[in-house]
Amino acid sequence: MSLKERLNFDKDPLYLIDGTALLYRAFYARADLSRSDGFPTNAINTVMRVLMNLLKDEDPLHVGFVMDGKGPTFRNALYDGYKANRPAMPEPLVEQVEPVRRGVGLLGIPLLVSEGVEADDCICSLADRYKAERPVIILATDKDIKQCLDDQVVMVSQMGRKETIHTLDSFREAEGMEPATWPDFQAVIGDSADNIPGIPGVGPVTARKIFAATGPTLEELRDNLASLPDKLRAKVEPELDQVFTYRQLTRMKTNCCEQALDFFRLQTPDLSALNGYFEEYELRGLQQLLPRNTAAAPKAPLAETVKQAAKATPKDGMLSLFGDTMAAPDKKEPEQPLEVNVAATVDDLPDLGGEDVGLTFEDDAFFLGVNGAEYRYAGPAGELVRAVQHASIIATPSVQDLLRADPAWGYILSSQWFDLSLAAYLLDPESRNYTWARLRQSMFQDGRPEFAEAARGLHPHSQGLAALAYMTGIRGQVEGAHLNTLMRELEIPLIPVLVAMERAGISIDDAAFQAFLNDVNAQLDELTRSIIGYAGEEFNIRSSQQLAVVLFDQLGIKAGSKTSTGLRSTANQVLEKIRDQHPIVDAVLEFRMLEKLRSTYLEPLPKMVGEDGRLHTHFNQLSTATGRLSSSQPNLQNIPIRGVHGPRMRACFNAAEGNMLAAADYSQIELRVLAHFSKDPELIDAFRHDEDIHARTAALIHDKDISAVTPDERRGAKTINFGLIYGMGVQKLARELQIKQTEAQEFTEKYFAKMATLKAYYDTVVKDAETHGFVTTLAGRRRLLPELHSRNNQLSAQARRQAVNTVIQGSAADIIKMAMVQAHKDKRLRELGAQLILQVHDELIIEAPEANIKEAGGRLLEIMQTVAKLDVPLKVDMGVGKNWAEAH
């Protein structure tokens, strides 16, 4: 359904597109697409696809693509610092500006380039000019444009796949003000994206209090300044004159760009020229949307052209105004049946030596694609392994699934595999869906240009040939993104390591589990009686609503925050803040902790033990954006470590009879990686001399000798050392250290003043990410960060945190994966009978015969400490024991 229909507009709207914002988002959405000669085409491809979807879905009569012109605007003359924090447009994007403008024209969409003002000013001016005669739909993400919302003006924003429609009513409800006063509000709180300072120390909550007391405009604020409390007035008064300037920066002009409506009438495109344009930039996926024989085709409205080409597209929720979608292949002609050669035995297969082979497993049979032919084989996997073991490359959706199903696949060399899901993950580690069904769909239906040639003429139901085609299409992307070494030398060799660990499993102590469960059940019974006694009546402790009534109504405890639905929250973090108001709160928190221990670990884990008496988890290689492994069915990486119950929980995991465990844990590996990348002299010196890094940091911050550092000072230094890796802000630091926010701010400033190299490094990581659109880890892993350039401050701030976190945490993940591969193939560990059985974050656990465990543990420690060369030594803490608690 079109936007016009969804919004119940009875007239054809004027569609206004913020072209500059779309261009940036398109550029950072897919950073790897380029023409065969290296010319970047990622922004061109996505912008053109978005616009073609718009024409297909909306069938507009009037539309405008509005872009920023070159040079400064009136805002730069008003305030020197305006947007001074913005990095220059990346050169690969600069190269695509003119091609995008040309493509917009070829689509028949009028292009308007602003001069002396911004594209947003033109959009708001045009909306104000035409809203009386027709609806106006603005396709943009900049919050400043909200000030022109009206009964006939709506703004549609797209963040990823989430579409948000901003109307006058929704704005009033969300912000509690009129759009006309939005610039006043923005002037007071400032805008870091545009480098507008606002009033220091005044955020949205405080600003609302100010305007509630004075009136919603700056004039009323100035006239009623005396009505503010002294503390607020002291903040506002010195900045008042400057805030009026800030409003001029945030207020959109409504008296520029006076183009007549006819200027925005959609024109008829020259399909032949458009076809040539797509050919020029090798956008073959877009070419397929055009009708055949475009060179001789008469001019026709493109909306009709695209609609016809897209009739077969399934409405599966993937189509989006800002999505990267394409029509399914044209299926007007009857589909020919897929010709499959049935191989009763491997002797019926052609000679596969030296060939590229596509291999999938579906419906209890293997499908092979080779030299344009499809084969089906339902015999033993071992026989098939012998047939394909001399193939050049075997392209398959999941090597891990094959190895899990049959160990015979372990005879294939890692250099022969091309894992399709792994390649897709490395290119886009946040997609989350790497199933073969989704990968095939992306090749046949998403119109990704890298598959246009590979999938040409391919039957939509093919399996083996589809796997081969997918590899052909994606291999160039992997190489272009410099991910081939990471995939070939680390990630594919890691797969048999993970499967071997899954197959080995870890033994558990049934008696220890049962005794622990009995104790927990007894404690839960006692806590239940105590909680009911405090409440004075029976109620369901597990019900958050019933608990809220008991705590806040019957016992009169002051309620904390509310949930998103307006109910009073009884979440643990809320209860932590009110635990001193009544003993029932402590009892409830203890109850919940024990209940989770019972329901998550003590009861279910013994039921999941295999016939060999061991737990067998699944290690997931494709689940995190940073490259860390995860564990499921069951999750053994989430076993409690610390606290009163952590050691007892780990003691329930033991070695088999006659064996022992050795646990080797990287010490502060993320801080060591940080020291390596940042070259901070304090961190490097501390690690090289094996000093207590947190005490050293505390001594530096507090200007005292390390021997004089107090436990609280060390704790604060530890919190900020680790917190910086995860992007901890001042507010969270204040909560963690239980200090005032002003103290946390002072602490942070002092930290960076003393460790200036770290601050410079963080800034460099973010700047490089803004320039290139991604960050890279030690082993070359990449993570795209398109939201770095979002005008949504929350999204851009999150992306900046992710940039630093990914480099540090992702590099630590690289190192432990290197160690796992080395340990798995180590000859001495095999001679000692040692088996790698578990990986938990920075810890590796092996099992070996009791007589060999110390030597095996020492060899593992040696491997882990030497597997990567950093500017600081890698340190590993190692212990041995009959169970995991003793070894840890």
Give the per-residue pLDDT at 751.
84
Measure CA 717 to chain center.
29
**507-614 in CATH: which number?**
1.20.1060.10
Partners of residue 66 on adjacent β-strands: 18, 112
Element (H, E) at 112: strand 111-113
Fold of 623-680+755-888: Alpha-Beta Plaits (3.30.70)
β-strands 618-620, 630-632: how paired?
antiparallel
Q: What is the dihedral of CA 221, 227, 232, 238, to 10 degrees?
A: 50
Q: Which residues have C-beta within 8 Å of that of residue 868, sequence separation ≥ 6?
A: 778, 814, 815, 818, 874
Fold of 340-502: Nucleotidyltransferase; domain 5 (3.30.420)
For 149-200, how does the pLDDT look when each residue is reduced to its tens digit (9 = 90+)?
Answer: 999 999 998 765 567 899 998 888 888 888 999 999 999 998 877 888 889 8
Q: Are the beta carbons of 846 and 887 closer than 8 angstroms?
A: no
Q: What is the pTM of this model?
A: 0.67
Is the pLDDT at 407 greater than 50, yes or no? yes
Give the per-residue pLDDT at 561.
67
- Cis bond upstream, residue 334 (ω within 30): no
Give the per-residue pLDDT at 317.
29
Residues of CATH 3.40.50.1010 domain(s) within the chain? 3-261
Least confident of 39-43, 324-328, 477-481, 659-663: 324-328
Q: Which residues have C-beta within 8 Å of that of residue 546, sequence separation ≥ 6?
A: 539, 540
Is the pLDDT at 323 greater than 50, yes or no? no
Q: CA-to-CA distance for 477 and 594, rounded, in angstroms? A: 49
> Could you say which DSSP state residue 600 is in?
I
For 452-501, how does the pLDDT look when each residue is reduced to its tens digit (9 = 90+)?
Answer: 778 888 888 899 999 999 999 999 889 989 999 999 999 999 999 999 99
Residues of CATH 3.30.70.370 domain(s) within the chain? 623-680+755-888
Percent of the chain with pLDDT over 70: 92
Q: What is the mean pLDDT of the chain?
A: 87
Is the pLDDT at 318 greater than 60, yes or no? no
- Can you tell me the mean pLDDT for 204-222? 89
Least confident of 7-16, 316-325, 742-751, 783-792: 316-325
Give the per-residue pLDDT at 194.
83
Is the pLDDT at 886 greater than 90, yes or no? yes
For 329-376, how does the pLDDT look when each residue is reduced to its tens digit (9 = 90+)?
Answer: 344 444 567 889 999 999 999 999 999 999 999 889 999 999 999 999
For 381-401, how does the pLDDT look when each residue is reduced to its tens digit (9 = 90+)?
Answer: 999 999 999 999 999 999 999
Residues of CATH 3.30.420.10 domain(s) within the chain? 340-502
Give the per-residue pLDDT at 374.
95
Nearest Cα neighbor of 536 from 523, 559, 555 is: 555
For 645-681, how does the pLDDT look when each residue is reduced to its tens digit (9 = 90+)?
Answer: 999 999 999 999 999 999 999 999 999 999 999 999 9
Residues of CATH 1.20.1060.10 domain(s) within the chain? 507-614
Give the per-residue pLDDT at 523.
96
Residue type, 770: E
Return the HEC string of 651-663.
Answer: CCEECCCCEEEEE
Length of the chain equals: 888
Give the per-residue pLDDT at 293.
52
| CATH class, range 3-261 | alpha beta
Token pair of 479, please? 């190489």
For 18-31, how does the pLDDT look when each residue is reduced to its tens digit (9 = 90+)?
Answer: 999 999 888 877 66
Which stretch, 231-235, 747-751, 825-829, has highest mean pLDDT? 825-829
For 106-153, how does the pLDDT look when each residue is reduced to its tens digit (9 = 90+)?
Answer: 999 999 998 888 999 999 999 999 999 999 999 998 889 999 999 999
For residue 886, CA distances in Å to 416, 455, 635, 649, 845 come to 41, 56, 21, 11, 12
Measure CA 742 to chain center.
31
- Can you tell me the mean pLDDT for 793-806? 84
Residue 459 CB coordination number (10 Å)? 16
Query: What residue has token string 């095999």?
Result: 830
The CA angle 689-692-697, to the nearest 5 degrees, is 100
Measure CA 557 to chain center.
39
Q: Are the beta carbons of 269 and 299 closer than 8 angstroms?
A: yes
Is the pLDDT at 786 greater than 90, yes or no? no
Measure CA 136 to chain center.
33
Give the per-residue pLDDT at 487.
97
